[in-house]
Amino acid sequence: MQDLRTATPPLTTLSEEESMFRDAVREFAGAEVRPHVSAMDHAAQFRLDLIPKFFELGLMGIEVPERYGGAGGTIFMAVLAIEELARVDASAAIYVDVHNTLVNNAFLRWGNDEQQRRYFPRLTTGLLGAFALSEPGSGSDAFALATRAERAGDGWELTGRKFWITNGAEAGVFIVFANVDPSKAYKGITAFIVEREFPGFSVGKKEHKLGIRASSTTELILEQCEVPAANVLGPIGQGYKIAIETLNEGRIGIGAQMIGVAAGALEAAMAYVKERRQFGKAIAEFQGVQFQLAQMATDLEAARLMVYNAARLKDAGQPFAHQAAMAKLFSSQVADRTTSNCLELFGGYGYSTEYPAEKYYRDAKIGTIYEGTSNMQLQTIAKTMLK
């Protein structure tokens, strides 16, 4: 096995290229996203003019080869982008995260040459993607899905419903999982590339959520949706493998979201405790407050190291599923605790929508749920330990 001490740089050391990229995303998030965060959250609607800017900045094809219009970068660079966006707004980060770590990743690993030539030039310039696995009766048991795919002439017809689909309201292409042979159970699951304009496809209701409110989460309805044979992604019957391996990388992205959310909350709290005065001095001068801040900063650094480590392992071509599950689990726990503690440091103001603490708190909770609940991460970790 390759020695990672020589294969990758230290986890928190960024190359000049990585530093410049991170700083560019940070500047963009502050200038272009931050002014609209509160309004988008209250309206539960993302500003559609921001999505083209993600493409223009090169955030939607980070790992895609340059020959297809991508940056030819690494998942570590994607992590940096997701983290910086989430520091300002988790909803903004989610658009970039899902598009890169799930959609582009699935095309990179499982798309054939023709599919990559057909879709990557669009996925890197303006076509938003979504990943459609979950169903009403299929959550943690992802492979109990009921959506069916049947042969129809030279192609396929898909029938079923998908729930909790991130980017659903704006996406133009969807990776949809359906079972071509229920008698084979999960071995019949197959991945299909479904475009929004395909006959029989429609987007259903949009969910109104506790957090990440500006990010669209929708139902998808497939009524004998017509899909060409050329749009089967990967081998027939290998959808379970595609989903599992794609979500392994996706969990690194969720970890990046969570450390970004925690960092944003901590920065807001740090600024507030220096200004808020009680008993004649800033509350930042009280040792009890200082100890809380120190503990949160320590937890955040540990979570960041775990997320960065999983990303570096993936980029080095090393096994990373175990570390990705740990990073997703721990970073979501840290975000949950940190945002809660930061809200309390704001006192009564923390409970008000006039201040950012309550939004960070609401946005953090989803990290323990989507792309595998915390219990599912524990199960993954235990399985890999006991092999």
Neighbours of 53 (CB within 10 A): 13
Residue 134, helix vs strand vs coil: coil
Neighbours of 292 (CB within 10 A): 18
The one catalytic residue in 63, 135, 358, 371 is 371
Alpha-helical segments (H) within the chain: 4-7, 16-28, 37-43, 50-56, 75-88, 90-97, 105-110, 113-123, 239-275, 287-315, 321-345, 357-364, 374-386
DSSP 21: H
Query: Tokens standing for 77?
Result: 């660079």
119 alpha-carbon distance from chain centroid: 21
Separation CA 349–CA 355 (nearest Å): 7
> Can you name the residues that pair with 148 across neighbouring β-strands?
159, 179
Query: Tokens standing for 56?
Result: 């223009």
- All residues at 6 or more sequence positions from 254 whose CB lies less than 8 Å from its CB, including other chains: 97, 328, 331, 332, 367, 370, 371
- All residues at 6 or more sequence positions from 122 whose CB lies less than 8 Å from its CB, including other chains: 172, 173
Amino acid letter at 334? V
Identify the CA nearest to 144 among candidates 178, 176, 174, 110: 178
Residue 274, helix vs strand vs coil: helix
Separation CA 86–CA 94 (nearest Å): 8
Q: Half-sphere exposure of 385 toward its Cβ, with a 13 Å CA cutoff?
A: 9
135 is catalytic: no
Identify the CA nearest to 286 among candidates 302, 269, 274, 299: 274
Sign of the C-alpha dihedral computed for residues 253, 257, 263 and 264 taken in this order: positive
Task: Just list the catalytic residues.
Answer: 371
